[in-house]
Structure 1
């Protein structure tokens, strides 16, 4: 009798003795620590990114083209915080939300990941034009164009991944070997296409553009330091970039580098065979590393952007509720 109860305790769904999946066994202390730590990270991710969204949406001074891209990134990071709650619940290898929710979970996971990468590409383009062609920056990078690019980034990502996950959405749970498992199979061709479109291509663009930004920033810093070459720089670049633009480039450069470092293991998990098998137990560390990046982004803003720290203070003290609070000088 005791043996039977012990066996049932190891099942995801004890009432389904013959068909239930078994839990992944961890020491109880490890399980408790993991649930506590990951839940705290998820909660912090949601709160901090919500503060970013409220700040940029509310204060008129913050509604710049660059901040619109940060707003898109914050929205994707906020959604990651919510998705992380589902991932945490399956820490022991059990999925309790049904087959259709499993398919939707992975669809949203991929859509949000691709949209985040799209935001990073837009940040790189924005900083490239601001530093390398500052005279034409207001003409080339307008709010309307940025909004269109953000919309296209999310739309293309959604449509592409709906096609990739069409089979999983039509027949959810098809590849589950037992009840309580969340397993998705993506066609190898679709998986490799996603790898190039969502990772290799965008990362290449980001590296090339930020390399150019770095070269121009170094040239400008040398010209200012030694008071030479300013005329040459003006002729070649139109005008040297403002120090505020350079600071923004450095801050966003940190965001981009941290993002690449966190997301690279997520895409570099070994792909072999004709199909790509995805389940809640595979790529455990890369998945949580990517989720953790969504918590790091607003922390970087708080470290480098005074306006974000001021905004948090105004929100926490409820001054944001005062009449005409959106007109406050926050920069």
Structure 2
């Protein structure tokens, strides 16, 4: 049976200034590496399929799909860069230096907020489409959506500099010993901007969509004697709204499931060391949300399954494939 070895120093030549390291049991280390590798690969591949599909096929160049594209880009970067680098943070010691440590944190501090904001924008888009369908085409235009996407990424970059600027000026100032990779952030502000505000917006929008769906259902029952064509139209609208309500409900549930453990631990003030299994789990749970986003938002669409088939069979390499009918 694997057991923890006696603590050793990360930098033996620094004596008491060095952090202590513990050799993780081989079975636990292998499990972490396998899971992280699978999550990273799956997240990058799924989101890359979304990026290629929406970028290549002209029929998919809609305002809603532009938001899905922006979400897929942020989640793709999380799967390609953030998750693999997170494996280094699961090690007992950090050997890449204080400056590299701070620079690494810039990537998740940009991509994770961008992913969350894109979720909010998608919820707003669906809210307008369901609650105000007659004015959707005039309120949600390509130019406005592009502007929102640009502002989303500008905000995310500003957000990262806001929280990490002091750490960049004085790298390693938050470390208690050599061999740590720790940054100092204002947890209250991060909690409000990254969790409370986005999830509140999504919940409010979801409740409104749910109310509209229920209202449509009641309206349908109260007009049973209406003409057949009107009744069919009402059924179609009501089904569409219920489907959107269910989708947003899944979004809220998955977002809470992935983010609540991290922020609950942060608020509790628990001191989780860099190599602890609990810290590793809650960190990857946040990033795993990026793997679930394409499943929630895209795999439910028939056009995505068709575009996957065209991509896998390399039919997108054929001339004029961008004009293919996949809707």
Question: RMSD of aligned C-alpha atoms?
Answer: 3.0
State the secondary structure of the residue aligned to 2:20: coil
Q: Structure 1 residue 21 and structure 2 residue 13: aligned?
A: no
Are the structure 2 counterparts of residues 285 and 300 from structure 1 closer, same or farther at C-alpha, using a change threshold of 3 Å? same
Question: Is the Cα contact below 8 Å between 1:52 and 1:298 reproduced in 2?
Answer: yes
In the aligned structure 2, how far is the partner of 1:62 from the partner of 1:248?
Answer: 19
Are the structure 2 counterparts of residues 229 and 314 from structure 1 closer, same or farther at C-alpha, using a change threshold of 3 Å? same
The one-character-per-residue Cα deviations of 1:136-179 (angstroms, maximum 9, x if unpaired) are 01011111111111111221221133022111011111222333
Matched with 2:295 is 299
Matched with 1:3 is none
In the aligned structure 2, how far is the partner of 1:146 from the partner of 1:249?
Answer: 22
Are the structure 2 counterparts of residues 272 and 300 from structure 1 closer, same or farther at C-alpha, using a change threshold of 3 Å? closer
Are the structure 2 counterparts of residues 101 and 303 from structure 1 closer, same or farther at C-alpha, using a change threshold of 3 Å? same
Are the structure 2 counterparts of residues 224 and 323 from structure 1 closer, same or farther at C-alpha, using a change threshold of 3 Å? farther
CA shift, 1:128, in A, is 1.0
Aligned with residue 46 of structure 1, among 41, 44, 47: 44
Matched with 2:266 is 270
Q: Normalising by structure 2, what TM-score?
A: 0.85
Instruction: Show the 5 A alignment for 1:95-106.
Output: 95-106=94-105
CA shift, 1:294, in A, is 1.1
Are the structure 2 counterparts of residues 128 and 228 from structure 1 closer, same or farther at C-alpha, using a change threshold of 3 Å? farther
Question: Is the Cα contact below 8 Å between 1:185 and 1:278 reproduced in 2?
Answer: no
In the aligned structure 1, how far is the partner of 2:289 from the partner of 2:75?
Answer: 8
Question: Is the Cα contact below 8 Å between 1:184 and 1:277 reproduced in 2?
Answer: no
CA shift, 1:309, in A, is 1.4
The one-character-per-residue Cα deviations of 1:93-151 (angstroms, maximum 9, x if unpaired) are 32233212211222221222211221111111111111110000101111111111111
Q: Report how many aligned residue pairs link the two structures.
A: 315
Segment of structure 1 superposing worse, 191-200 or 83-92: 191-200
Question: Is the Cα contact below 8 Å between 1:87 and 1:280 reproduced in 2?
Answer: no
Are the structure 2 counterparts of residues 299 and 209 from structure 1 closer, same or farther at C-alpha, using a change threshold of 3 Å? closer
CA shift, 1:217, in A, is 1.6
Q: Where does structure 2 lack aligned partners over 5 or more consecutive residues? A: none
Are the structure 2 counterparts of residues 302 and 125 from structure 1 closer, same or farther at C-alpha, using a change threshold of 3 Å? closer
Q: Structure 1 residue 77 and structure 2 residue 75: aligned?
A: yes
Aligned with residue 29 of structure 2, among 9, 28, 31: 31
Segment of structure 1 superposing worse, 240-249 or 63-72: 240-249
CA shift, 1:301, in A, is 4.5
Matched with 1:118 is 117
In the aligned structure 2, how far is the partner of 1:229 from the partner of 1:252?
Answer: 32
CA shift, 1:304, in A, is 1.3
Are the structure 2 counterparts of residues 227 and 116 from structure 1 closer, same or farther at C-alpha, using a change threshold of 3 Å? same
In the aligned structure 1, how far is the partner of 2:248 from the partner of 2:60?
Answer: 16
Matched with 1:170 is 169
In the aligned structure 2, how far is the partner of 1:60 from the partner of 1:107?
Answer: 34
In the aligned structure 2, how far is the partner of 1:261 from the partner of 1:250?
Answer: 16
State the secondary structure of the residue aligned to 2:183: strand
Matched with 1:185 is 184
The one-character-per-residue Cα deviations of 1:46-79 (angstroms, maximum 9, x if unpaired) are 1111111111111111111111111111111111
State the secondary structure of the residue aligned to 1:183: coil
In the aligned structure 1, how far is the partner of 2:68 from the partner of 2:58?
Answer: 15
Question: Is the Cα contact below 8 Å between 2:109 and 2:159 reproduced in 1?
Answer: no
Matched with 2:194 is 198
In the aligned structure 1, how far is the partner of 2:221 from the partner of 2:23?
Answer: 60
Question: Is the Cα contact below 8 Å between 1:220 and 1:240 reproduced in 2?
Answer: no
The one-character-per-residue Cα deviations of 1:262-284 (angstroms, maximum 9, x if unpaired) are 122222323378xx989744743
Matched with 2:309 is 313
Q: Structure 1 residue 215 and structure 2 residue 214: aligned?
A: no
CA shift, 1:296, in A, is 1.5
CA shift, 1:18, in A, is 6.0
Matched with 1:62 is 60
